[in-house]
Structure formats: C-alpha cells, structure tokens
Structure 1
Amino acid sequence: MKEKLLTVSIAAYNVEQYLRQALESLVVPEVMDEIEVLIVNDGSTDTTSAIGHEFEKKYPETFRVIDKENGGYGTTVNRSVSEARGVYFRLLDGDDWFDREGLVDLVQRLHSGDADVYLTPRYVCREGSDEKTLENNSWYQFECHTYSCDEMSFGTSLGMWFITVKTDLLRSHPFDLPAHTLYTDQIFTVRSLAYSQTFQICPRPLYCYRVGREGQSVSRESRIKHIDDQKRSVGMCLDYLATQNDLTEDSRAILVDRVARYYNVLIKTLLLLPASKATWNEIKALDAATKSKYPDVYSKACQSKKFGVVRSLGHIGYWPVAMRGIDNWE
C-alpha cells in the first residue's frame, strides 16, 4: 500500500454494535485515496473482526485489519503508530464516528498546509438520539489559520478527539502506552503536543463523540471502578513531562496546563469516593508529592477555584464536598 496523507487508527474491542457506523463514516469517495484506516481488533470475541475484514475486502486500498491479542487501548495505539503509512495520524474509537464533511475539509487542509497539529472541533452525540451538539471549547475562538506554539492558549479541553498530528513527530519522540490501562488517551495527547510547534485551527467539526453508552470509561461508575488506571496514566504524564528537558518554554506551558487538568480530574474522581479519612489522607499525600516533584503542575492545578477551596480549607473543606458529591458542588 502506498504512502497516504492520513492514517486513522480505530481501536476496536467488542464494538460490533457500533463499528459499522464508524467505518461507513470513512467511506467518502472524495478522500478515500488519501486515507488509510487501520482497524486494530484488540482480541474481540464478537464479530468486530469480521466486520473489519468485510470493509477491508471491499476497500482494500483504504481499510486494513490488524488482529492482535487483547492488550488494551494503549497497545492498539502503539501498534498503529508503528505501522502507519500516513503523513498525519489520528485516533477514532470504534464506538464513535467522523462527520463526512469534516473529514473532507481536514484532508483538503492537510494537502494545502504543513502544520504539526490540526485541531478540529467535535460534536457530542447522545446515545439513542440523532441530536448532535457542537461542544463548547475555548480554542474555537481562534481564527482559522496556522499559529505558532507561543500564540496558542488552549484553556479548556484538548483531548485526542481534536488532534491530528504528524506521524513523524510521534515516532521521533517515542513513548509506548501501557497495556491493560484505561485513560491512556491522556498520555497520547501529551505525547502529541510535546514537540509540536505549529497548529492549524480548522472550522468544521470532525469527531462525533458518543455519550450515554453503558460502560463508557468517562462515566462516574467507571471512573471510580478504574481509579487506579487513572492514577497510572496521570503519573505517566507527570513523569514524561519531568523528563523532557529539551521542550521549548511555550511547549512546556501547554503541557503543564494539560497535565494539570488531568491531575485535577483525578482529584475529582477521588472526591467521588465515599467520604473517609483514608481518602482524605490519600488526597493530601498525592498533593504533597505532586507539589514536591512537579511544582509547576501543582501550581497550575491549584488555580482551579473548585479545588482551591478544598485545599485551602483542608479537612474542613473536604468533608462537605465529598459527602455532597463534587458533581453537585459549585
């Protein structure tokens, strides 16, 4: 298969109910010659692999199935980065899909530009509904052209859903994502932004993000159940940031902001746990360790008003927040 302009990596594990929609959203005649779709079947036990092979057989120049033993989300990304033939690389979860017009617009921009990262807005799509809502995001305020790293101030969310990055940047600064660990998309985002110096803002939404599906990793129940995975991913982001000594000042500022936000999400998850002295002691210990080892991240994290109150009031602030629930506290 010849080099492509864009590789789309689809992590597919037991998503037979959704995968066909994801793949059909990539059957866009205007751009199919320019894209490579890697369907990484992560040891599924349903018909996920068969669906992938169906598309591979029908569109062999675009779709390719990689069948592998189950290793978790991070290993699907590792595998697709190593095998990608696209100049640019981006992720799509097997239960989400792309907006077709957004895909055409992105490919056209990849043709005409040379930015390290292209940022595309996303739709939030509720399960069981045809409703699509454009997610509010602070960087949507930027005009549609290429910015240098020092011009960017992302503010709020900047996850893997928005990012298309040069494949060579990922390979030049390798960082294997861990196996059998949720939330490794956080590490991928940090890894994608670390050495990117130019960013193009695209106006058309691309990613259609499904919410309300039972068992999603972002649900309250899943976050509590898999809190150890969250601790591991945040810890790896912190360690990665601490060891990248050749980052520019502007790149480091972007990563500090991003990792600080992941850190505060972890604190929020701890506040979702039943109120207890043990949990309060864990939050204190985590904050103390972060303040000591990663002071710039800790300082940025403390700018959050919500968590600043908890930290400033100590255990007196912890108990009412934990007992009421952080999601209900303003």
Structure 2
Amino acid sequence: MFLTNKLLTIVIPVYNMEAYLEKTLSSVALPEYEDKVEILVVNDGSSDSSQNIINQYAKKYPRLIRAIHKDNGGWGTCIKLAIKEAQGKYFKVLDSDDWFNTTAFTEFVHLLEEQDVDLILTPYTEINDTGDEKHFSFSKKLINKTWSISQFIKNIKYKNSIFALAAITYRTSILSNENITIGDKYYSDIDYDLQPLAFVKTLHILPCCLYFYYRAREAQSTSTDGYISHIDDYKNLLIREIQFFTDKQKSLDHHLKKHIFNCILRQCKFYYKLCMSRSNKIQTKKLTSFDKYIQKTNLKIYLNLNLSCVKKIIPFIFIWRFFKINIYNF
C-alpha cells in the first residue's frame, strides 16, 4: 500500500541548469509549507554548478528541499526515481528552467488540501525570451468542479493541450502503477502526460495559474532539426505508446480511449512526416519497419493513418504505402 505523510511532492529534474535553477527553486522555497510539501531536486549528473546551487537551497530549507544526485540517465529516470521516493499524496513536476507563480502556489496548496481526486488540472502560462506570454486556461463552467475523466474529455472535445505537463498534478499512487512505462530520455514527458490518464477516474480543475513554462530553449529537442536528431527516440516513444494503448484499450472508457487514440495518431502522423521530409535510404528503411510494426500491432491505428492528409486533401501516408511515392520528394 502507498503511504504518504505529505500533501504534495514537487520534483525538479536538473541537468546543467545553473542559469535558471535559482529562479526555479526560489519560486517554491516557502518554509511555511514544509509540513505539507516536499521538494525533490534530482540532479541528473550535471557538470556545471547546478549541484552547488541545489546544496545551498537544501541546506537553507532542510525540511522542505531534498537533494538527490544520480548519474546521467535522462529526464525520465529522474521522474521514475522521484516517484519511488515521493511521500506526497499528490505529485507535480517542475522543470528546472520553469517556475511557479509563488502567490498562486500558496493558493494551490490551500485548495489541494480539500481534494481527493486522481488528477488536478490548473491553468498555466507560456513565456519566451522577449517576455511575450500565452495563457492556457479553462472555461468557467469547468473550474472548481470535480469531473469523471470521461465527462471531462467529452466537454473539452478531446483537446490535447489540456493535459500538458504544466497543467497536471497526479495522485502519486496513480504514478506508482507498474503498468505505466516512462522512457528514460527524450520525449519521456509525453509518456508521463498520457499513460497515467488510463488509470484516472476523477479530476478537479483549480483556478490558480500556477506554472510558468519557459519556451525559449525548445529548439534543442522540439524544433524540426531537434526531432530529426532524436528521431529514433521519437520512434521508441511511439512504440511504447502504441503497445500501451493496444494492451489497455479494451478496459478504457469510450471517450478516454478516443482521446488517447487521437493523441497517438497525431504523434504517428508527425513521425511519418519527419521521416519522409528528410528521406534517404536509412530513414525509408526505418519508416518501412515502423509501418509494418503498426500494421501488426494495432490495425485500427494503421488504417486510420491512411486518412492523414497534408494541405487537408493529400493522403500522403496512403500514397507512400500503396504507390511508393513520397510527396515530400517533389
């Protein structure tokens, strides 16, 4: 049985983030919540001064912040370690170049004490280098209400951005489920965002805009060149998601199954576009192998990909499969 003695565990995975880390830690270092909140700062083998910064905060707030140092293994390994170490009823990830609105954090902790659901969702803000902000919120009819996962997904019309890392706080026992597979390195955050939803029964929307998501560094892994350089990691993500969905689909509610299916379909479509836009013999061979994997593992996903279009009318995957023509070569 999962035991807790804190209300909330916040995990901050860190790898060479000395330029951002103090702002991140300062946004959550509130000693008045040391009896309710624990902050696990997991240093993933940083080679800069990140560990020194972590040590300073852990020394200053010993009952609030716990420093964990490990060999480099990737974002997902930090999250999996923190799940094992967590003592909080709820679990939230704060990336080490992002931060919380401290006022909203105070409100969040207060409101969290009143909850007993599997998933908490909160609004969040994206911000770039120039200070431009983009807010992601919820309609008034959804806020301050408890929903079944099925009814909520039906109400939001299957929008994927609702379940972004910045928005979600899981019940920790959901994440401890051995059926959830989180990858080690690139794109493991997508595993974290998507797979636990299969075990969520209830959720609640809180009004506090808690999370500031810094987008300026996205070019490293989420630009087109970044995806291409880590294309095998992206393929491995898709294999995990397809296998997970295939294993669990019979037990999923209709609306939740449709949501997860649509997410995987979008991710697969993107992978085909990546491989075909940078086509060479190696990428073509990899894509052909992946295509056969989908056909064998989940025929419904395979067939639905035939309907995927570019410019709204060109079924590019269907054309590639049946006519051996890559439209991206023209």
TM tier relative to shorter chain? 0.7 to 0.9
Name 2:151's counterpart in structure 1: 151
The residue number in structure 1 matching 2:65 is 63
Cα distance in structure 1, aligned partners of 2:12 and 2:223: 21
Amino acid at match of 1:147: W
Alpha carbons of structure 1 residues 219 and 85: separation in structure 2 relative to 1, 3 Å: same
Is 1:310 the counterpart of 2:316? The answer is: yes
2:262 maps to which of 237, 257, 263 = 257
CA–CA separation in structure 1 for the residues paired with 2:183 and 2:218: 24
Percent identical pairs in the alignment equals 28
Q: Which residue matches 1:25?
A: 27
Name the counterpart of 1:163: 168
Deviation at 1:6, TM superposition (A): 1.0
Q: 1: distance between equivalents of 2:329 and 2:99?
A: 36
Residue number in structure 2 paired with 1:78: 80
**2:90 & 2:218 partners in 1: Cα distance?**
32
The residue number in structure 1 matching 2:224 is 220
Q: By how many angstroms is 1:300 displaced?
A: 5.6
SS of 2:9's equivalent in the other structure is strand
Structure 2 CA distance for partners of 1:79 and 1:245, relative to 1, 3 Å: same
Is the contact between residue 272 and residue 317 of structure 2 (CA under 8 Å) also seen in structure 1? no
Q: Distance in 1 between matches of 2:46 and 2:261?
A: 36
Q: How does 1:311-330 map to 2 (within 5 A)?
A: 311-314=317-320, 319-321=326-328
Shift in Å, 1:294: 1.5
TM-score w.r.t. the length of structure 2 is 0.84
| Cα 1:303–1:204 shift into 2, 3 Å | farther
- How many correspondences in the alignment? 317
Matched-pair contact (CA < 8 Å) for 2:24–2:99? yes
How far the C-alpha of 1:200 sits from its partner, in A, is 1.5
Asked if the contact 1:91–1:160 (Cα under 8 Å) also holds between the matched residues in 2, the reply is: yes
RMSD of equivalent CA atoms: 2.8
CA shift, 1:140, in A, is 5.0
User: What are structure 2's unaligned runs of at least 5 residues?
Assistant: none
Answer whether contact 2:118 2:202 (CA < 8 A) is retained: yes
Residue 66 of structure 1 deviates from its aligned partner by 0.4
TM-score by length of structure 1 reads 0.84
Q: Distance in 1 between matches of 2:58 and 2:302?
A: 47
Aligned to 2:299: 295
Residue 131 (structure 2) pairs with residue 130 (structure 1): yes
State whether residues 119 and 200 of structure 2, in contact with CA within 8 Å, keep that contact through their aligned partners in structure 1. Answer: yes
1:190 equivalent in structure 2: 194
Letter in 1 for 2:17: V
TM-superposed CA distance for 1:59, in Å, is 1.0
What's the offset of the Cα at 1:94? 1.1
Q: Residues 270-322 of structure 1, C-alpha deviation per residue, up to 9 Å, x if partnerless?
A: 2442x446645654553443244223434565665438631244388964546
Q: Aligned partners of 1:322, 1:210: CA distance in 2, in Å?
A: 35
Partner SS for 1:93: coil
Match of 2:252 in 1: 248
Cα deviation 1:68-119 (Å, max 9, x = unaligned): 1111111101100000011011112111112223323332332112121111
Using the alignment, how far apart are the partners of 2:139 and 2:328 within structure 1? 32
Unmatched 5+ stretches in structure 1: 324-330
SS in structure 1 of the partner of residue 103 of structure 2:
helix
Question: Could you say which residue in structure 1 is the equivalent of 2:272?
Answer: 267
The CA distance in 1 between the partners of 2:329 and 2:65, in whole Å, is: 47
Q: Which residue of 2 aligns with 1:328?
A: none
The AA in structure 2 aligned to 1:131 is D
Over 3 Å counting, the alpha-carbon distance change for 1:289 and 1:174 in structure 2 is: closer
